[in-house]
Amino acid sequence: MCAAAGGYRGIGRLLLNRGARLDAKDHDGNSALVWAIWNGKIEMARMLLDFGAELEAKRHDGCTPVMVAASCGMADAVSMLVVRGADLDATAFDGEDAVQICTDERCKQLLCSARRGRRWRRRRALVTWRH
């Protein structure tokens, strides 16, 4: 987690290649992916996802990585997680989703746009399937 928080990709890669657990969490339920996002280490977060980090791993409060990115106003991280398929309808234990937690207007626009796009694609798939 220290390698993830610091963005030390070389060390992180070495640890992962030697069997470090991607699903390990600290006492607050933060995974290495959350630590990388929290500290703005987008390339490290991308590498962790490439190695198989869980995109929807919840913290002790039910927040997913995309919620953490939104709450920190990290538009680049939000964008990367959306592209990777983050669940935008997931809610934390208090019932709030990523848009409600969001602190940055750019992040909020990204999330709303992505949510609309996904809904449109789902509807389109249903219409195509029925014919």
Q: How many folded domains does the chain comprise?
A: 1
| 85: nearest Cα among 112, 40, 115 | 115
| 37: nearest Cα among 14, 61, 71, 60 | 71
Tens digit of pLDDT for each residue in 111-131?
A: 999 988 776 555 556 656 555
Q: With contact defined as beta carbons under 8 Å apart, do 107 and 78 qualify?
A: yes
Poorest-pLDDT segment among 11-15, 40-44, 96-100: 11-15
| 48: nearest Cα among 37, 39, 58, 38 | 37
The CATH number of residue 38's host domain is 1.25.40.20
Three-class SS state of 111: helix
Q: With contact defined as beta carbons under 8 Å apart, do 30 and 57 qualify?
A: no
Domain hosting 111: range is 2-130
Tens digit of pLDDT for each residue in 72-109?
A: 999 999 999 999 999 999 999 999 999 999 989 999 99
